Amino acid sequence: MENLDPNLTIAMLGEQQLLQFLQRFSPPDVVGDDGAILMPQPGHVLVVTTDMLVDGIHFCNRTTSPGDVGWRSAAANLSDLAAMGATPLGLTISLGLPASLPFVWLDQFYQGVADCLQTYGTAIVGGDVSRSPVLTVSMTALGEVLPHEQILRSTAQPGDAIVVTGPHGASRAGLEILLQPEWGQKFSPAERLALKQVHQRPRPRLDVLPILRQLTPHRAAGMDSSDGLADAILQICRASGVGAEIQESYLPLPASLQKVLPPHQAIEWTLYGGEDFELVLCLSPSAAQTLVEELNSTAMVVGHIMAGNEVSLRRLDGVKHPLSLQQGYQHFG
Give the footprint of a copy of itself on residues 183-202 (CB under 8 A).
none
| Residue type at position 329 | Y
- Contact call for residues 103 and 64 (beta carbons, < 8 A): no
Say what the alpha-carbon torsion angle 198, 294, 77, 196 is, to the nearest 10 degrees. Answer: 0
Single out the segment in contact with a copy of itself by CB under 8 A; choices: 88-96, 161-169, 194-202, 281-289: 88-96
Single out the segment in contact with a copy of itself by CB under 8 A; choices: 61-69, 115-123, 136-144, 159-167: 136-144
49 strand-pairing partners: 141
Q: Least CB distance from residue 11 to a copy of itself, whole Å?
A: 6
Residues 11-70 that bind a copy of itself (CB under 8 A): 11, 13-15, 18, 32-40, 42-43, 45-54, 56-58
Say what the alpha-carbon torsion angle 250, 256, 261, 262 is, to the nearest 10 degrees. Answer: 40
Residues 105-134 that bind a copy of itself (CB under 8 A): 125-134
Q: Least CB distance from residue 35 to a copy of itself, whole Å?
A: 4
Contact flag: residue 305 with a copy of itself (CB under 8 A)? no
Q: CA dist 75 to 66, 116, 198, 298, 320, Å? A: 14, 7, 11, 19, 35
Q: Judged by CB under 8 A, how many residues of this single chain contact a copy of itself?
A: 71
Specify the residue, 264 or 331, whose C-beta has the smaller distance to a copy of itself. Answer: 331
Say what the alpha-carbon torsion angle 226, 228, 232, 235 is, to the nearest 10 degrees. Answer: -100
Q: Least CB distance from residue 209 to a copy of itself, whole Å?
A: 13
Indicate the length of the chain as a whole number. Answer: 333
Q: Least CB distance from residue 183 to a copy of itself, whole Å?
A: 27
